[in-house]
Amino acid sequence: AQKVTQAQTEISVVEKEDVTLDCVYETRDTTYYLFWYKQPPSGELVFLIRRNSFDEQNEISGRYSWNFQKSTSSFNFTITASQVVDSAVYFCALSDLARGSTLGRLYFGRGTQLTVWP
Amino acid sequence: ETGVTQTPRHLVMGMTNKKSLKCEQHLGHNAMYWYKQSAKKPLELMFVYSLEERVENNSVPSRFSPECPNSSHLFLHLHTLQPEDSALYLCASSQEQLAGNTIYFGEGSWLTVV
């Protein structure tokens, strides 16, 4: 069964610190996709990144970077030089291909509340 | 401006009321979703529509009734809800035909049942 675990419920850092949000997943599928979403207080889930299971290359986008390691089933997210605007709940999610359909389903972790203090 | 818009953003209703949540997507997608996010549970998938046909209903109580009149609009009709139904209801859309499709969410409708 598919499962996403975000063990860190809450993290607090001071501005300019680096912070890593952990994500561990379980799946029996060989083809799957991993996502990170950001949810600010307004409620909208903002898409950050998608990574497929065949691409283990790490990715950097500005202050954001992602470390995908199939050997440990992890897809961790690092924010460098954090800012107050980074304060939000961050969700990791796994998408499989439902049997008989191309329609993917998202399995979400419980989220990590990140608070960045000025 | 978000590609998925939801109205109303906030709704307070009594247990005997009938109300509806509306969602519209401007992304040209052909699959739409309703998710429920409550304080004590992870995000829960409620309904999935693909090409205006319901393809998944995750054992949601009948007091929630979805409607998808076309690929751009999705409604969630609410009737005789319970206080435990108070939650953030998120609408989302995706392009079905793409494997590993990215699902884009709206800002959500905050529902309080009194």
C-alpha separations of B17 from A15, B8, B47 in Å: 46, 15, 22
pLDDT in the model for residue B73? 96
Q: What is the pLDDT of residue B24?
A: 97
Q: Which residue of B has its CA nearest to A96?
A: B100
pLDDT score for A98 = 57
Instruction: Write the pLDDT tens digit of every residue in B4-35.
Output: 999 999 999 998 889 999 999 999 999 999 99
Substitution target from B103, B104, B107, B112 for chain A, most A beta carbons within 10 A: B103
How high is the pLDDT of residue B69? 94
The Cα–Cα gap between A89 and A86 comes to: 9
- The predicted structure's pLDDT at residue A73: 95
The whole-number pLDDT of residue A65 equals: 95
Please give the pLDDT value at position B95: 86
Instruction: Give, for all 118 residues of chain A, the pLDDT tens digit.
Output: 789 999 999 999 999 999 999 999 998 888 889 999 999 998 899 999 999 898 888 888 899 999 999 999 999 999 999 999 999 999 999 987 655 455 667 889 999 999 999 9
CA distance B88 to B52: 23
Residue A17, min C-alpha distance to chain B (Å): 28
- The reported pLDDT for the residue numbered B96 is 74
Closest-CA residue to B74 (of B97, B98, B94): B94
Contact between chains at A106 and B45 (C-beta distance less than 8 A): yes
Return d(Cα A24, Cα B93) in angstroms, integer: 25
User: Residue A98 phi/psi, 5° resolution?
Assistant: -55, 140
Instruction: Tally A–B CB contacts below 8 A.
Output: 61
- Is there a contact between B28 and B85 (Cβ–Cβ < 8 Å)? no
| Element of type H or E holding A69 | strand A64-69
Three-class secondary structure of residue B85 per DSSP: helix
pLDDT tens digits, B47-105: 989 887 887 777 899 999 999 999 999 999 999 999 999 999 999 999 875 657 889 99
The two tokens of residue A102 are: 């191309």
B98 contact A CB<8A: yes
Collect all residues of chain A within an 8 Å Cβ-Cβ radius of residue B42. 108-111
pLDDT reported for residue B91: 96
